[in-house]
Structure formats: structure tokens, C-alpha cells
Chain A
């Protein structure tokens, strides 16, 4: 079946512009996660959704970052007034809350963001 998809695959933007990154989770997966993979920082958790609510936003690095999820499906991560340090690969993952405790997260291919 279809996996987690993300768009765009690559995004180049100028410093100060806003960007939106999209994630389509696996159909039926109620949990959705955003992570960031950057040189020197490794893989960092950003935010976790259960349904449309975000009980854990502890990883968002600043108030320029926000995310929403609608219809318990698609999620959008928005970065306002981008800075060069925002350059990274943004990964989305989803999991089923009724997976019998497997806790496996399925990752998308990522969006590579470059801020010039």
C-alpha cells in the first residue's frame, strides 16, 4: 500500500520567506510526527499529532515554526521568516495507535529545505 508521502521533495527559498511543507500519512494512521535532520544536530523531534490535536509541541525550535493537521490526515509544517539555520531535511512519520504496541513509525522520504 501507499507509504508516507511528503511534498515538495526539495525546496529552495530565500532568507525571510515563509515555506509550507506537506505530509500525507499512511491511510488510517492516527498519529503523525515531524522530525528535522540536519548536519550537526542529527534527527530532532519537532511535533506530535494524535488526530488533529498536538499534545506534544516541545521540539518546535521557535515561534516561527507551526504545524497543523486537518481531517486527521494531511499535515502542514509552516516556517515563517526562514533563516539559514532552518536548512535541513524535514521528515514526517506516522503510526497507528492501534498497532498492538508495536510503536513502529513509518517515515516519509523527507523534504530538503535550503535557505539561501
Chain B
């Protein structure tokens, strides 16, 4: 079985400041890792994913996440946030080779203030 822990339920930050949203997972098998974003009053959208290869993955809007196998982490970072990044961010895992269900963390609400 897999589980995901997002250590911060809320992260307030000022515009143009850096941010890190933390995600740790537990699994007895290898996993794929995902970050989804939910903007206010919108559905879940895939932000980025780690399947294999380079442990650093990037999104088109400046977010990046690094898979750290030894620490079982997949933290999400952005060097300079915008007001439009205000949203809820969910970390998720899927077992390799298993059914495609995603196991989600509880979510982190990122609030960017001017």
C-alpha cells in the first residue's frame, strides 16, 4: 500500500518570494509521482510528474520538483511565485505496475499575497 504526507496544510507567501511545498511518500513498491493543482473553482490539473530518468522535473509555469528516493520525497518548488499561483496543490503516487489509481496527499493551500 502507498501513502502520501503533505506536511503543510497552508503556506502563505508574498509575491515574488520562493516557495517549497513538501511531499513525502511511503510505499513497499516503486512508484510514479505527481503534483496536481486545483485553482479556485476549477478542476484538478496535472502540474508535473516523475516517471523515470532525471530526478528533477519541471512544469511549463516555472514549478519544479525533485524525486529523492533515499528520503522518499518529491518536494515542489518555485523560485518566484505570482498571485496567479494561488491554488491548492496535491501530491500523488501511483504504484508501478499496479492499477492506475492515484493515492493523494491531503493537499497544501498556497496563498500568494501582494
Contacts and interface: CB of A to CB of B under 8 A. Distances in A.
The secondary structure that dominates the B interface is: strand
A107 B45 contact: yes
B54 interface: no
Nearest to A55: B99
The secondary structure that dominates the A interface is: strand
Contact of B100 (A33, A35, A110): A33
Nearest to B94: A103
In which size bucket is the chain B interface?
20 to 34
A56 B101 contact: yes
Contact of A59 (B32, B44, B92, B101): B101
B104 A42 contact: yes
Interface string B86-114: 00001010100001111111110000000
Interface of A: 4, 31, 33, 35, 42-45, 48, 55-56, 59, 91, 93, 95, 101-105, 107-110
Contacts, number: 54
Interface string B21-65: 000000000001010100000111110010100000000000000
Contacts of B32: 103
Contact of A45 (B44, B49, B101): B101
Contacts of A107: 36, 43-45
Contacts of B107: 42-43
Nearest to A105: B102
B100 to A, nearest CB: 6
